[in-house]
Amino acid sequence: MTQEVHSALVVYFSQTGNTEQVAEAIGRGLRGRGLRVRHAKLLETRPEEAAEYDLLGLGTPVFYYKEPLLVREFIRRLPRGVRLGSPQAARKPAFTFITHGGNPVNSLARMQRQLARRCYTVVNSFSCHGYDTYPMHLRGFREWGAPTAQLLRDAEGFGERLTSECRWLREERRFALPRYKFVGGKYFLFSHLFQGGRMKRFFPPQRVNESLCTRCGVCARNCPAQAIALDPYPRVSDACIWCYLCERICPWQAFAVDWSHLRSRMNC
């Protein structure tokens, strides 16, 4: 039998602030039900800290039709949500949330499976559009102004409902797990193609024009994956998630990223 839920750790990875807004809205809903809530940025949080809370929330934007590798690594390093030998019902409750501009494909289902391997039961999930700044997306993919005030209210209501769902997990012998519709086709294929070392084959590298770069460090300080270091000019490591935020925020336009080849192929 699981314990009462009194506290929640809401861990989120956020590139431009969309997912952070959703995390804060869900937290307001949880606090409204009397829970002690801590919000934590994923790259500033040790997975072991999840053991100190009754409920774990994990949120991320979707990149290339899937959750980023750093999110999967965080889940893999989580302490087990139940002691060995405990009954199945003692699995620790969790929830997931994502923001996306295009098709999230099977991201929530994968996160559910990954958390189950660490003995966490996902009681529910929240998904909504966020403003997508990815350079290659057509205008039709963008959700201007998202997440909207209504979406954030929906996220807050989601947080309010979570306490009841955790109670059902505790009290019902056969708890109904969330089911996610499988997405196949070309997007499923893309979600497998666009990962790891293959990204260098499909997408342009983030080269720096040293004659323009002033080594101000804006890119390194704001890289959501902490993948950029000044050496002495910006160098992008293999931790890169290929979001190209560095290109968009550089005040000197020093990142020389050539999109012409891909845009001509996609008729952007």
Task: State pLDDT tens for residues 170-193.
Answer: 888 777 889 999 999 998 998 888
Q: Which CATH architecture has domain 203-266?
A: 2-Layer Sandwich (3.30)
204 within 8 A of 261, measured Cβ to Cβ: yes
Q: What is the pTM of this model?
A: 0.88
Which pair of structure tokens corresponds to residue 233? 């000019």
Q: What is the pLDDT of residue 136?
A: 62
Q: What is the pLDDT of residue 265?
A: 59
- ∠ CA 33-175-45, rounded to 5°: 55
Q: What is the pLDDT of residue 256?
A: 86
Q: What is the CA radius of gyration of the chain?
A: 20
Q: What is the pLDDT of residue 146?
A: 83
What is the third-level CATH fold of 7-171?
Answer: Rossmann fold (3.40.50)
Q: Could you state, in order of their start, the residue ranges of all structural domains in the chain?
A: 7-171, 203-266
Residue 211's region, left for phi above 0, alpha for psi from -120 to 50, else beta, is alpha
Task: Give me the residues of the chain with pLDDT under 50, please.
Answer: 1-2, 83-85, 138-140, 268
Strand arrangement of the beta sheet that strand 7-12 belongs to: 36-41, 7-12, 55-61, 92-100, 120-129
Between the two ends of the chain, the Cα-to-Cα distance in Å is: 55
Q: Which residue has the tokens 């293999």?
A: 238
206 within 8 A of 254, measured Cβ to Cβ: no
Q: What is the pLDDT of residue 268?
A: 45
What is the spatial distance between Cα 175 and Cα 29, in angstroms, rounded to a whole number? 22
Going by DSSP bridges, is the β-strand pair 234-236/228-230 parallel, antiparallel, or unpaired?
Answer: antiparallel
